[in-house]
Structure 1
Amino acid sequence: MIEGFITGLGAIGFLIRKELLALFKEPSSRVILLVPALLQSLLFGYGATYDLTNAPYAVLDLSHGAAAASVMQKLDGTGVFRRQAMLVSTTQIASAIENDDMLMVLVFPADSENRLGAGQSAPLLMVLDGRNSSTAGAAAAQVGAIVASINAGRAGAPAISIERRAWYNPNLESRWNMMPGLIAALSLIQTLMIAALSVAREREQGTFDQLLVTPFTPMQLLIGKAIPSILVGLAQSTIIFLIIVFWFRIPFAGSVALLYLGLVTFTIAAVGIGLSISALSVSMQQAMLYTFLLIMPLMLLSGMLTPVSNMPEFLQIATLVNPLRFGMDLTRRVYLEGAGLHEVAHDFVPMLAVAAVTLPLAAWLFRNRLA
C-alpha cells in the first residue's frame, strides 16, 4: 500500500512538472503570465481612482462682494480646487465647460451682497461638467461643505460641531479600498484561463489521446492539472500584493499567513471552475469563450465596483456562488482591518463549498473523458 501511495505521488509529480514546463517553456507564455499582473495593478492603482485630487474651476463674479471672495479663498486653500479663470460674461460659461477646461463654473449674481445685507439668501449657481458624474458629484459635495461652513460662521457659533473620522482609510482614498481587492480579482483572470485551457490544449495538440493509455487515474490527472494553476494564481497574487505594499505604500495591517490561507482557498475554488470548463470544452477557442463569458459576471457580482448590499435581492443571492465576492472581502478585511480568522471565517465556507462542487465535477468529467 505504501509503495502504491509513493508511486501515485511520483506520477502526480511528473504531471505537475509536465504542466509547468508547458506553461513556461515559451518566452511569450512567461510574459503573459507575469506582465499583465504588473500592468493591471499599476493601471488600477493610478487610473481607477474616485478621489477628487485636481478640480479646475472658473468664477463669474458679478457681485464683487466679500461673500464671493470668502468662498474663492476657501476653495483655493483646499489644494484640490484650482481657479483657472475669472470670467466676465455668461457667454463664456458654455465654452469653459464644453472644452474640458473646467470641471465647474461658479456664478455669483450681481445682487448677492445686497441680498445678504438685507438678511435674505443669495443664490450661488454651480455649473458642473456632468460627463464625469462621480468627479462632479464629489466636487459639488466639497463646495457644499465649504459654503455650509461659511454660512455657519455668519450665523454665529454653531450648536453642533461635526467631526468625521474614517477607519482603515484615514484619507478616504479609493485606492486603499480597490487595491487590496485586486489581489484576488486580477489573479482570477489568469487562474481561470490557465485551468480552462489545460485539457483543451491537450486535445488540440493531440496529447490528450496519449493520456488515455497512461496508468494515471482521473484523480491523479485532476491533481496534476490543478496544482500548477494554483501555483501560478498564488504567484500572481504575490506580485500584486508586493506592488501594493512597496510601490503604493498602502499599509498592511493583517496576518500574511491568514491572507495566504484565504488566497489558497480562493484559488482552489477558481481552479475548480476552470477545470470544469476545460473538461467540458472540446477546443481552446471554446474554453476561452466560456472563460470570458464567466469572468465579467464574476467581476461585476464581486462587490469590487458596486457594494453587494446595493444590488437587487436576486443578484445578491447569485453572488453566494461567486468565490470572488468572498475572496475580495477576505483580502480587504485582512489587509486593511487586520481581521483575524474568527472574523473572516464566514468567507471560507462559500469558497470551500464551490471547490467541493467544482473539483468533483471536473474529476467526474475527466473520468468520462478517459473512459
Structure 2
Amino acid sequence: MGLVRLKALIIKELLAILRDPRSRVILVVPPILQLLVFSFAATLEVKNVDILMLNRDNGAWSQELIRRVEGSPTFRSVRLTQDPAELRMAIDRQDVIAAVELSPSFSRDIEARRPADLGIILDGRKSNASQIVAGYLNEIIAGLAAETGLGKAGGGRAIDVVVRNWFNSNLTFQWFMVPNLVAAIALLIGLIVTALSIAREREVGTFDQLMVSPLRTHEILWGKLLPPILIGTFHITVYTLAALLVFGVPLRGSLLMLYGSAIFYLLAVAGIGLFISALSTTQQQAILGAFLFLVPAMLLSGFATPIENMPPWLQPITLINPLRYFLVIVKGVFLRDLPFDAVLANTWPMAVIAAVSLALASWLFRRRLE
C-alpha cells in the first residue's frame, strides 16, 4: 500500500508540473539554451584574438616570423607597426591581447649565429587567456628558431624570448578574480532580490493590498527598485574594501567613476529583475527566471573566457548583458587608470539596457493590473 500511495503522489506532482504551460517551458527551454551557451561560450580555447607586432628589423627572418604568425589559425588579425606608442595604446585599450616586439638586429643576430632578442608583451588583465596566447607564440617562435643556423647546430638558444605582463606583472590570480567578483556578486544579489519582490507580494497575498494603497504605480516600482540598488552598492563597497585591504589589489583609477557607472549597472540589473518579477506569479518562477538569466550572463560577459573566443553568431548576444560592460570598468579602475572616455563608452550601453528593461517592467506591471 505504501508503494501505491508513493506512486500516486509522484504522478500527482508530475501532473502539477506538466499542466502548467510556464513550467513546461522552464523544463524544456532553459536546458537547451544552457547547452548551447556552455558548448560555445564556456571554452578554454583561445582563438579569434588580435595581436600586434612591433617590427624594428624588417629583415628576412623577421618577415618570416610575421608570415608564420599571420598564417596561424589562432589569430584573427595581426597588426603591424613600427611605433612603440601604438603598441602601448593597443594593449592599454584592449585592442590586442598580446604584442610581439622584434629588436632592430633580429635578422642580423640570427645570420651571425647570435641569440636574437624578442619580446612578448601580454595583457595581464586577461591572465589566463594571455598565457595561452603566449604559449601559441612560443611554439611558432621555437619552430622558427629550429630552422636557424644556431638552432640546427644545437649551439644554444637561437632566439631569446622575454615575456612581460602589463597591469599584472606577477600574474597574481586575485588581481584578476576579485575585481570580477565585485561585479558578479552585485549582479547575483541585485537580480535575486529584485526578481522576488513582486512575485513574493503575489504569493503571500499582499499584492492586492499594495494596489489599493495611495501609492501610484511608478512609486511602487521605484519602491521596489531602490532597495536592491542600495544593497548592491553596499556589496560593491564591501568587496572593494576587501580587494584593497585583504587581497592587496591596486586601485589605480577613480572611485568616483566606479560608483558613477555602478549606478547605471545596478539600474540595469534591477530593471531586468523587475521584469522577471512582473512576469512571474510565484517565487519559484521568479528564482528560476533569475537563474535562467544569471548563468548565460556570467558565461557571456568575459568573466571566465574572452568574448572574442565565442562564435561570431554568439557575440552580438553579449551586447545586451550589463555585466560585460561593468567588468571592463571594474578591472580598468583597479588595474589601470581607466580614462573617462573608456568609462563613458561602457556606461551608456548599461544606461540603455536599464531604460529598456525598466520600461518593459513598468508596461508589464501596468498590464497585470488591468
Give the alignment's TM-score, normalised by structure 2. 0.58
Letter in 1 for 2:274: L
Alpha-carbon displacement from aligned partner over 1:53-97 (angstroms, at most 9, x marks no partner): xxxxxxxxxxxxxxxxxxxxxxxxxxxxxxxxxxxxxxxxxxxxx
Q: Distance in 2 between matches of 1:189 and 1:366?
A: 23
Does residue 172 in structure 1 map to residue 171 in structure 2?
A: yes
In structure 1, C-alpha distance between the alignment counterparts of 2:339 and 2:220, rounded to whole Å? 35
Show the counterpart of 2:364: 365
Match of 2:236, SS state, is helix
**Could you tell me which residue of structure 2 aligns to residue 220 of structure 1?**
219
SS at 1:250 equivalent? coil
Three-state SS of the structure 1 residue aligned to 2:160 is coil
1:157 deviation in Å? 6.8
Which amino acid is 1:327 matched to? Answer: F
The match for 1:328 is 327
Does the Cα contact within 8 Å between 2:217 and 2:366 map onto a contact in 1?
yes
Which residue does 2:24 correspond to in 1?
Answer: none
| Structure 1 residue ranges (4+ consecutive) displaced by more than 3 angstroms after TM superposition | 154-161
Which string of whole-angstrom CA distances, capped at 9 and with x for unpartnered residues, describes residues 7-60 of structure 1? xxxxxxxxxxxxxxxxxxxxxxxxxxxxxxxxxxxxxxxxxxx9xxxxxxxxxx
Q: Give runs of aligned pairs for residues 176-215 of structure 1, distance below 5 A.
A: 176-215=175-214
Give the structure 1 partner of residue 287 of structure 2.
288
8 Å Cα contact 2:254-2:337 kept in structure 1: yes
SS of equivalent to 1:161: strand
Unaligned 5+ runs, structure 1: 1-49, 51-133
Counterpart residue number, 1:244 = 243
1:48-127 counterparts in 2 under 5 A?
Answer: none
Deviation at 1:158, TM superposition (A): 5.3
Identity score, percent: 44
Query: Residues 189-221 of structure 1, C-alpha deviation per residue, up to 9 Å, x if partnerless?
Result: 111000000111111121111112112221111
Return the alpha-carbon distance in structure 2 between the equivalents of residues 168 and 174 of structure 1. 12
For 1:259-317, what per-residue CA distance to the aligned partner results, in whole angstroms no more than 9, with x for missing partners? 11111111110000000011111011110111111110000001011100111111110
Kept in 2: contact 1:266–1:327 (CA 8 A)? yes
Letter in 2 for 1:273: I
Q: Structure 1 CA distance, aligned partners of 2:177 and 2:235?
A: 17
- Residue identity matched to 1:204: E
Following superposition, the deviation at residue 331 of structure 1 comes to 0.8
Match in the other structure for 1:261: 260
Letter in 1 for 2:188: I
Tell me, yes or no, if the aligned pair for 1:218 and 1:370 is still in contact at 8 Å. no
SS of the aligned residue for 1:166 comes to strand
CA deviation vs aligned residue, 1:238-267 (integer Å, no higher than 9, x gap): 111111111111111110100111111111
Whether the 8 Å contact between 2:261 and 2:343 is mirrored in structure 1 is: no
Q: Identify the residue that residue 125 of structure 2 maps to in structure 1.
A: none
When the two chains are superposed, the root-mean-square deviation of aligned CA atoms in Å is 2.9
Which residue of structure 2 aligns with residue 316 of structure 1?
A: 315
Q: Per-residue CA shift, 1:297-349, capped at 9, x if unaligned?
A: 00000101110011111111000001111111111111111102112221112
Mapped partners of 1:289, 1:343: distance in 2? 35
Cα distance in structure 1, aligned partners of 2:278 and 2:214 = 19
Aligned residues: 233
Alignment-mate amino acid for residue 299 of structure 2: L
CA distance in structure 1 between the partners assigned to 2:174 and 2:238 by the alignment: 17
Residue 306 of structure 1 aligns with an amino acid whose one-letter code is T
Contact 1:182–1:328, Cα closer than 8 Å, also in 2: no
Give the aligned residue type for 1:370. Answer: L
- The CA distance in 1 between the partners of 2:210 and 2:361, in whole Å, is 16
* Structure 2 residue identity aligned to 1:270: V
* 1:172 counterpart SS class: coil
Q: CA deviation at 1:178?
A: 2.1
Do 2:251 and 2:334's aligned partners in 1 also have CA atoms closer than 8 Å? yes
**Partner letter of residue 352 of structure 2?**
A
Residue type at the aligned position of 2:264: T
| Partner of residue 351, structure 1 | 350
Tell me, what secondary structure is at the counterpart of 1:257? helix
Q: Distance in 2 between matches of 1:156 and 1:245?
A: 48
CA displacement at 1:161 relative to structure 2: 3.4
